[in-house]
């Protein structure tokens, strides 16, 4: 196993490599992530009323987020492919935007934080794509891991401080 005092994805010569996880224990691992799409209040109404020129944004963004989580190792070079057992992507209406929350679960040898972050990011990008005809100034912000569990490093829970929801002019 790699020396914990060194960066696990960097070899002695400084080159990046994929970490060997073959000796790690299989455990249940979960991650919860969030992100925000800020837009004008009238666009939020259009999103939640399914009244956008491109159609109903939230079901499309949900499927995109699930697909993004499943494809994480294809777009994040050093991520291991994992058998994802559960992926959820949900949306919360806010006055000036949409909060996106993704949860990912597996039984495996490495965590699913990147998959949860990819789900949120892909869903947010899809919301922006769906609303760009009515708001070219939408902002994606605050993408972060809220919680993770399982594995040798143990559980993590983000601090309770507020996350910036971006700015919208």
Q: Is 63 helix (H, G, I), strand (E, B) or coil?
A: helix
User: How high is the pLDDT of residue 168?
Assistant: 38
3-state secondary structure 98-161: EEEEEEEEEEECCCCHHHHHHHHHHHHHHHHHHHCCCCCCCEEEEEEEEEEECCCCCCEECCCC
Burial-class residue 15 by CB neighbours within 10 Å (0-12, 13-18, 19+): exposed
Classify burial at 16, counting beta carbons within 10 Å of its beta carbon; exposed 0-12, middle 13-18, buried 19 or more: exposed
Separation between Cα atoms, residue 159 and residue 74, nearest integer Å: 30
Mean pLDDT in the chain? Answer: 90
Percent of the chain with pLDDT over 90: 76
Catalytic residue numbers read: 129
Q: Do residues 75 and 103 touch, judged by C-beta distance below 8 A?
A: no
Question: How confident is residue 4, by pLDDT bands cut at 50, 70 and 90?
Answer: very low
pLDDT digits (tens, 9 = 90+) for 17-76: 888 888 888 999 999 999 999 999 999 999 999 999 999 999 999 999 999 999 999 999
Domain edges within the chain: 27-149
**Contact 42/135 with Cβ under 8 angstroms?**
no
pTM of the model: 0.88
> Which range has highest mean pLDDT (12-21, 124-133, 152-161)?
124-133
pLDDT at position 161 = 52
Alpha-carbon span 160 to 51, nearest angstrom: 34
Mean pLDDT within 98-115 = 96
Amino acid 166: pLDDT: 39
Q: Is the dihedral of CA 105, 110, 113, 118 positive or negative?
A: negative
Half-sphere exposure of 77 (CA within 13 A, CB side): 4
**Residue tagged 């010569």 (tokens):** 13
Helix (H) or strand (E) holding 85: strand 84-94
- Evaluate whether the domain defined by 27-149 bears CATH number 3.30.70.60: no
- Residues 77-100: tens digit of each pLDDT: 999 999 999 999 999 999 999 999
């Amino acid at each position: 196993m790699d020396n914990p005092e060194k960066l696990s994805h960097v070899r002695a010569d400084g080159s990046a490599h994929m970490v060997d996880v073959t000796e790690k224990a299989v455990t249940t691992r979960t991650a919860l992530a969030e992100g925000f799409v800020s837009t004008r209040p009238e666009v939020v109404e259009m999103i939640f009323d399914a009244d956008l020129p491109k159609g109903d944004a939230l079901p499309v963004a949900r499927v995109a987020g699930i697909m993004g989580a499943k494809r994480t190792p294809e777009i994040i070079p050093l991520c291991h492919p994992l058998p994802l057992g559960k992926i959820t992507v949900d949306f919360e209406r806010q006055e000036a935007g949409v909060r996106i929350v993704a949860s990912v679960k597996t039984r495996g040898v490495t965590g699913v934080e990147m998959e949860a972050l990819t789900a949120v990011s892909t869903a947010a990008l899809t919301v922006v794509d769906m609303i760009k005809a009515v708001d070219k100034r939408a902002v994606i912000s605050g993408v972060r891991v809220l919680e993770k569990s399982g594995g040798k490093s143990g559980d993590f829970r983000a601090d309770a401080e507020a996350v910036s929801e971006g700015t919208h002019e």
